[in-house]
Amino acid sequence: MNHRRIIEGALAAVLLAGGFGRALAAEAEPVGSETCLGCHAERDVKKKLHTKAMSTAKGVPFDKACETCHGPGSLHAAAAGDKSSPGFATIKNPKDQSAAEQSETCLTCHKQKNLTLWGTSSHKQGGLSCAKCHTMHGDQKKNLAKDGVETCLTCHKKQRGELQLASHHPLIEGRMTCAGCHNPHGGVSGNLRGETVEDTCFKCHADKAGPFMHEHPPVVEECTTCHKPHGSANATLLKQGEPMLCLRCHKWPHTESTNNVSAMKTKTFEQRSRCTDCHNQIHGSDRKAGLKD
Amino acid sequence: MNPRENMKMKNLIAGVLSALLAVPAGAEPLLSASVEPVFYTGELKGNRGLVMEYDGRQFTRSKAKYNWDNSGAAGKLSLGTGSDEGYFGFGADYQNTYDGSVGYQLGLGKAWRMSGEYDSLMHRQPFTWSAIGLNGAYYPNPVIANRGAFNSDFWFQRQAYDLKNRFTLPTQSPVSLFFDYWRVDKEGDAPARLASTPLAATSQIRNTTQDFAAGAQVEVGKTAGVDYEHLYRTFEDNSQLVIITNPSRPRIQSTQWNVNEVKFRCSPSPTMAFTGTLANSDRKNEFNGYRVKTYSGSLAGSFAPAKDLSLTARLYSRGTLVRENQFLTRDERRGTGDDSQVDKNTFRGDFQARYRLGPAHLKGNYRLEYNTRRGAPVVPFDTAGIYQDGLVVSSNTQATVMAAQDTKHILSLGLAYELPLDIEIEAEIKRLIANRPVFDALPNWQDTADLSLAVPLPKNLSLLGAVNYLQERNNMSNLMKGSRTQALYMAGLSWMSKFVSLGADYQHENARTYSEGYFGATNYVSRNNTYLRTLIHDPGMYYKEINDTLGGNVRVALPKGIALKGQGSFTRSVLRIPVNIPAAVQRQVAGEDHGDVTDLGPSNVGIYQLGFGVEYHPEMFESFSAKLGYRTNQWSDKNDSRNNGRVNVVETSLSAKF
């Protein structure tokens, strides 16, 4: 009998607590963004383009801007910073949500075409949410939490050293971002903007795309056959220095002729150790089969 | 500025922007603005080509330190306003005559979004000397003319324009239309050498790429959508190759792309998602009549049958057809164009599973890729060769090959484990196996291993260490068997306290690539009907690369709104291609260099960057700040001082935010 009463009492307590919790959630009401800024003034949301765009694009006036994403805040505001208060945690904090819940908030409004493949993207499968890279309260472009390159290098650490090598795209100079070549929201081939590596590279480097009368097969196959796009110690982002890169597929053909006698001479190596000095149309040529002007 | 004047400024800006947007009287727009003028003065020593590769400022080499001619102004400006009717954001960043960007975003009602951006960048194309190792010492090519004699730096300006428009139709299933325009102009010069002359020349860069894209996006219910886009791209190249001793030759290219792409997405349940694409493209070079068509499709699905388990599968197929212009006779020496280009078909499948078991995250991935190529070139060596080390190569036993078919299997397994005290360890191994490599330079077998450790310590200190190891080989080639190994070590440190933040990272890379070196293909030289006395075979030729990169930053907050900042980076790269081509196997000619060739590509470069400065944020005027900073960049070539350069710059700026 005593055991039964204890169990009933515990069950009633659980139900009461749950009901009380539900009652708390049901009672939370919007308080307006000015109330939020009373404690969270550092968010400075009035000056953020996201706040302005919400008003225009989605008809969400500034007064409702905070609670559209974070939920009604009356109980949270009433807690006045007391974390032990039951009402304090009724506000939606992205840090307490799963990746899917965080992203759901953003994807309710954001349906741009570069998000079409997000559902099966490697970032989403890896457990990333929008809030991992973006923040509505920041000053960076595209609402990134850090600038365009630092956001990516937080996880992709190997590329940090490559970007500092002698030959590199102007990322560390701030003139380009990772998103110039990659779509972090998902692409057909990994996270590239183009369908293939070549489609990605040929957008800015269309002079290499051809088609040419005389093609260089590694160019047709894939740019990364010869290049390292994130950075290289060799000129023009090559994987190995010349002539080593070329000699991995080709025999050295050059001899020098003196008095009609052909031979390997020191002069041969002095003048021809950098193949693209002469083979300057290495990506393809309409002029000569030797890929040069 | 006191609060009353601040309010007057706000009202003035509000009035101007409201007039632009026709914001109804009485509406209270959300306003923001910031401005930051910058003044700089600098000094250049040595060669600016490499140390200022992406910096368009024209610091001259002057004896006077920080003279007025090496000074200039730059600055940033941003404005923004928004209301129920519209929003407008504008930003400009002017760095110098050649570097800068301007952008805006505009939204009117719920229907129209527009954004535009212009960016200009100067990219220097430095003139450098090739070099070998001769008798163990660095020896630059003596034939190339001095850069000074050839005059001036080489550089080109890249200007990019990007306009986007999006209209949302007020239908029940929301439909959006978009029209985008993108353009890149490149104009300038690059150094060139020609096969027909040892003299350096100028290669012009004069080309324009334009993208015109239009399409529609349809949302089907709340969980599905379809996009269609048509892209029309043009590329025009009107450069000239300027040759000092011969008439210049035009290098004309005119290419058009037409691309159609359809994408769809569908999420029938919170645990399931599907995406897919269908695309075709048609690329034609109007100058030579060659045409490339592609057809592709992909389908991907992800499913989470349980809370801690997710499965993903991706299928992809692409076909590429080249329509050669077989009657083309533009080639100057060889008569007709190449009538056998490579058509390619690719089939690819990716399968991934992720599972969380307590503190462990497991990940497995398998990829299968199957490629076929019609017209893949095989260039046989149809004459025999006898090499100085005794190697005899019979005719038609070696060839330079592109594989007509290759199949790759790539398997990777990864583990991330959360240890006590918030320590995280991650490990991954990956293996690639191919039935044959596409080229001799690529592997048919590759193993990769990654290991990283992140350790949070007391006092907001955190440490990171990581190792990456790669080993690959091509042991199937009939011409160039080779292998490559690469080891990468990384370490990082960060610390943050109330007044100090500090970060540092270090990376060390050691890579070697081994290959056989064949210097000479045949003993018989057909062009002058002579017999080549010695062919050289180096079975142990290798490429060695060692890179060290170090970076750090620090910020110290002092009382009264003062902050000290510093940041720096250091990169050292040592490259070598050791070979064994002794003088004894080379023909000696009077008046010409003769010696042991010990290296085909020596390089030893250090890149240094150091900056420090002070910021002042007055406590009474939180919207204002001032900065004073010094920065030095240096490029140091240990072998060839002609490439060395150093730039010192002092910058001061003020900023105000409203």
Task: Dump pLDDT digits (tens) for B297-308.
Answer: 999 999 999 989
Token pair for A280: 């300057």
| Least confident window among A201-205, A278-282, B191-195, B464-468 | B191-195
Identify the residue with better confidence: B518 or B337: B518
Give the pLDDT confidence score for residue B9 in this predicted structure.
46
B562 within 8 A of A292, measured Cβ to Cβ: no
Q: Tell me which residue in A120, A188, A279 faces B273 most closely, judged by beta carbons.
A: A120
Q: A 3-32 residues with CB below 8 A of B? A: none
Contacts of A225 in chain B (CB under 8 A): 438-439, 441-442
CB atoms within 10 A of CB B270: 10
Cα of A5 to nearest chain B Cα, Å: 36
Contact A166 B573 (CB under 8 A): yes
CB atoms within 10 A of CB B313: 15
The DSSP code sequence of A117-162 is TGGG-HHHHTT--HHHHB-TT--SGGGBSS-HHHHHHTT-THHHHH
Give the residue from chain A lying closest to B378, CA to CA. A217
- Among the residues of A28-120, which ranges form H helices? 33-39, 49-57, 65-70, 74-79, 99-107
Q: Tell me which residue in B229, B290, B528 faces A260 most closely, judged by beta carbons.
A: B528
Give the pLDDT confidence score for residue B53 in this predicted structure.
93
Cis peptide preceding B582, ω within 30 of 0: no
Q: Is A210 left (phi over 0), alpha (psi -120 to 50) or beta?
A: left
Average pLDDT, chain B: 87
CB atoms within 10 A of CB A155: 12
Q: What is the mean pLDDT of residues B579-583?
A: 90
Q: Tell me which residue in A225, A243, A287 faces B442 most closely, judged by beta carbons.
A: A225
Q: pLDDT tens for residues B621-648? A: 888 999 999 999 999 999 999 889 999 9
Q: pLDDT tens for residues B289-336? A: 899 999 999 999 999 999 899 999 999 999 999 988 766 655 554 455
Give the residue from chain B lying closest to A163, CA to CA. B549
Task: Return the closest-CA partner of residue B197 out of B265, B243, B252.
Answer: B243
**3-class SS of residue B611:** strand
Burial class of residue A106 in the structure, from the number of CB atoms within 10 Å of its CB (0-12 exposed, 13-18 middle, 19+ buried): middle
| Least confident window among A241-245, A279-283, B17-21, B227-231 | B17-21
Residues for chain B: how many in total? 658
- Whole-number Å distance between alpha carbons of A27 and A86: 12
How far are the Cα atoms of A189, B146, B537, B585 from residue B593, in angstroms, in the given order? Answer: 51, 19, 21, 14
A128 within 8 A of A103, measured Cβ to Cβ: no
Which DSSP helix (H) or strand (E) runs through B157? strand B155-169
Q: B 416-475 residues with CB below 8 A of A? A: 438-442, 452, 464, 466, 468
Cα of A133 to nearest chain B Cα, Å: 19
Give the pLDDT confidence score for residue B4 in this predicted structure.
45
- Whole-number Å distance between alpha carbons of B200 and B151: 11
- Whole-number Å distance between alpha carbons of B546 and B585: 30
**What is the percent of chain B where pLDDT is above 90?**
60
Contacts of B571 in chain A (CB under 8 A): 164-166
For chain B, the distance separating the N- and C-terminal CA atoms, rounded to the nearest angstrom, is 11
Task: Return the closest-CA partner of residue B322 out of B268, B376, B362.
Answer: B376
Q: What is residue A182's DSSP assignment? A: B
The alpha-carbon radius of gyration of chain A (Å, integer) is 30
pLDDT tier at B138 (50, 70, 90 boundaries)?
A: very high
Give the pLDDT confidence score for residue A46 in this predicted structure.
74
Q: What is the mean pLDDT of residues B522-538?
A: 81
pLDDT above 90 (res B532)? no
pLDDT above 50 (res B5)? no
Below-50 pLDDT ranges, chain A: 1, 7-25
Q: What is the mean pLDDT of residues B197-215?
A: 84
- Whole-number Å distance between alpha carbons of A39 and A70: 15
Identify the residue with better confidence: B600 or B63: B600
Contacts of B330 in chain A (CB under 8 A): 213, 286
Chain B interface disruption, residue of A105, A193, A244, A278, most B CBs within 10 A: A244
Give the pLDDT confidence score for residue A3 in this predicted structure.
55
The residues pairing with B456 across neighbouring beta strands, listed in sequence order, are: B462
Note whether A289 contacts B: Cβ–Cβ < 8 A.
yes
- Whole-number Å distance between alpha carbons of A192 and A184: 8
pLDDT above 80 (res B11)? no
**What is the percent of chain B where pLDDT is above 70?**
87
Can you tell me the ipTM of this complex?
Answer: 0.90
Identify the residue with better confidence: A122 or B141: A122
Q: What is the mean pLDDT of residues B390-404?
A: 90
